[in-house]
Chains A and B, each alone.
Chain A
């Protein structure tokens, strides 16, 4: 072996893939940015809607959410928000929790809770929009 190949820490397959040490880190990073960009218009829509609905009773909010435009935007807002939240929570936990068992447990619990909340929120929109 020459001295240069001894210094090279990337194997032939890794070199061919050209991804450096990346596994799924890029996907995580990219998804966080994509959801962030999506949340710019969605968040403005959400804030404006909530402001308009200040003090509204159930019938008015129900009627508002049953409109197709509201239901579509709310569904997108829910998906983007909870996806972005799951990615952010993962970074925070991986930064501060270093014991492998605790890290895995807290990741599973929190991501599970986020998926549960997202499913409940999405189900509500469907139920209201389709007319339950």
Chain B
């Protein structure tokens, strides 16, 4: 009863997400899940540009040029590239979720296989879209 209390040390704070080299080992499954939500939020912000683009149809031709100029700028293109990837990632991973909702592909190997398919799909579709966009310009 009279034993000395064990030396106190700070309780570990789970799950040690940061820094990425820390205790927590990142997995593709959770990373894609976080990215899915982040992409969805980013696309939500993107609806501001989408609506601005549409509304500019009702203004003067110069109003529409202003939108096109913004999208065509380096900053605009970087944003649009990010949104293109976010769209195709959220699209592909959303289909992955819909497949899970039917009860399929829920084994661990299939979850990883689907994850890689979504990553490849999102990159390929992003590149294809931009190649096509420059071809149509």
Contact = CB atoms under 8 A, between A and B. Distances in A.
Nearest to B134: A54
A106 interface: no
Interface residues of B, number: 34
B4 interface: no
Interface stretch (B23-31, B47-55, B103-111): B47-55
Interface of A: 33, 36-37, 39-40, 43, 47, 50-59, 61-62, 65, 81-82, 85, 88-89, 92, 114, 117, 120-121, 124-125, 127-128, 132
29 contacts: A33-B101, A36-B94, A36-B98, A37-B98, A39-B91, A40-B91, A50-B133, A51-B136, A54-B137, A55-B72, A57-B68, A58-B61, A58-B65, A61-B64, A85-B43, A85-B44, A85-B47, A88-B44, A89-B44, A92-B41, A114-B47, A117-B47, A117-B48, A120-B54, A120-B55, A124-B55, A124-B58, A127-B58, A132-B58
